[in-house]
Structure 1
Amino acid sequence: MSLRYAVLTLLDIEPGSGYDLKRRFERSVSHFWSASHQQMYRELHRLHDEGLLDCAEQPQEGKPDKKVYSLTDSGREALREWVQRPAPAQKIREPFLIQLFAGHHLSRDQARDAVQRQLDEHRALLDSYLEQNERVLNSDSELQERYWLAHQTLLLGIEAERTWIAWAERMLRELERG
């Protein structure tokens, strides 16, 4: 999947500026897709140039005009066509696992520290996802029904983080035993 369909999907839910889109991205699909601020803006411009997005400028007091993007009919059709195509399963691409695979170059203390850092990061991610889940569960029931499938991706993210945490805790116990 490319960033273009993540952008189209988020703008299909609600029009917004690049800043709005980045915030929405962080609160929704960031548990399974990542993009920098610059990548997001490049993709917005590309989609606009291709006629898949409209851009309206909203004046702001004391600031440059705000560009608000929305899907065109062509953008909605491109999203509809893409979402109906089968998506291949993706393999994990995790830099830490490559480092661990070469872990024979680490002392036991270095390995323990590396695993502990990962554990801390995954615990923080889990906390963030659980907060997002609470917001979903406390939202309007009509929205919950409309975005039920989208919510399932968050639930998978929660389960993935719980799996990472259990794995890292096991690793730390093994490393402590020597």
Structure 2
Amino acid sequence: MVLMSVGGYLVLGLLLDGPASGYELGTRASRAVAYFWPITRSHIYAELPKLVDRGHATVQHVVQEAVPDKRVYTATDAGLHAFRGWLDGFNTVSERARQPLQIQMHFAQHTSAEHLLGQLDQWEAELRNTLVLCQELLAEYADHAGRSLTARFAINRAEADLTWIGEARTTLS
């Protein structure tokens, strides 16, 4: 079995939700998984030919009028099998979230409180956007246990992070 990056498997998983162009997969990713695993459109576009080469997807050239032609990708049975194998063998215990802001906080003595407060403001705005999106997704995913759990996780995480931001503001002020 040829191993792929997590990003490759993520693209394959998105493709298992139905045929799509690279652009459509980017839109799907920004709505469905970006709150827990951000992936760029360029990464998606880079993974699609690899999926085809591995036999995990097929591609169909679609001619369009008035807009550029597109390639529509479809997951294969082999792709589904590979994805299931990856999910079953995926080691989540070793996964740790990276928090770039925590680097700045850890070394706060080397920067200004004003800079850190500005960073907190930006992060808070992003978290509030995540909360809105995930509340919408929670309603949308009401009949899908796994997806509603990821939305609930993101909501809980964002709420915890917002609590921490309040504590950090108090400490820095």
When normalised by structure 2's length, the TM-score is 0.87
Total equivalences in the alignment? 168
In 2: Cα distance, 1:135 partner to 1:152 partner: 10
Question: What is the match of residue 89 of structure 2?
Answer: 85
Question: What is the match of residue 45 of structure 1?
Answer: 49
CA contact (8 A) 2:22 2:71 kept: yes
In 2: Cα distance, 1:167 partner to 1:119 partner: 12
The answer as to 2:16 corresponding to 1:18 is no
Describe the SS at the equivalent of 1:130: helix
In 2: Cα distance, 1:64 partner to 1:88 partner: 40
Which residue of the other structure, out of 126, 129, 132, is the alignment partner of 1:130?
132
The answer as to 2:142 corresponding to 1:144 is yes
| Pairwise CA distance, 1:150 | 1.4
When normalised by structure 1's length, the TM-score is 0.84
| Pairwise CA distance, 1:112 | 4.0
- The alignment yields a C-alpha RMSD, in angstroms, of 1.9
Query: Letter of the aligned partner of 2:97 in structure 1?
Result: I
Question: What is the match of residue 108 of structure 2?
Answer: 103
Which residue of the other structure, out of 68, 74, 95, is the alignment partner of 1:70?
74
Q: Deviations over 1:130-167 (max 9, x none)?
A: 23432541x4xxx632x321121111111111111111
In 1: Cα distance, 2:48 partner to 2:127 partner: 27
Task: Give structure 1 stretches of 5+ with no counterpart.
Answer: none
Moved over 4 A (4+): none
In 2: Cα distance, 1:79 partner to 1:135 partner: 23
In 2: Cα distance, 1:129 partner to 1:10 partner: 22
Which residue of the other structure, out of 114, 117, 124, is the alignment partner of 1:115?
117
What is the aligned-residue identity percentage?
27
CA contact (8 A) 1:136 1:144 kept: yes
Between the two structures, name the one with larger relative contact order (CA 8 Å, sep ≥ 6). 1
Describe the SS at the equivalent of 1:30: coil
Task: Give structure 2 stretches of 5+ with no counterpart.
Answer: none
Pick the structure with more helix per residue. 1
| Pairwise CA distance, 1:17 | 0.5
Q: Deviations over 1:72-105 (max 9, x none)?
A: 1110110111122242231221211112211111
Describe the SS at the equivalent of 2:89: coil
| Pairwise CA distance, 1:113 | 3.5
| Pairwise CA distance, 1:119 | 3.8
In 1: Cα distance, 2:163 partner to 2:10 partner: 30
CA contact (8 A) 1:123 1:161 kept: no
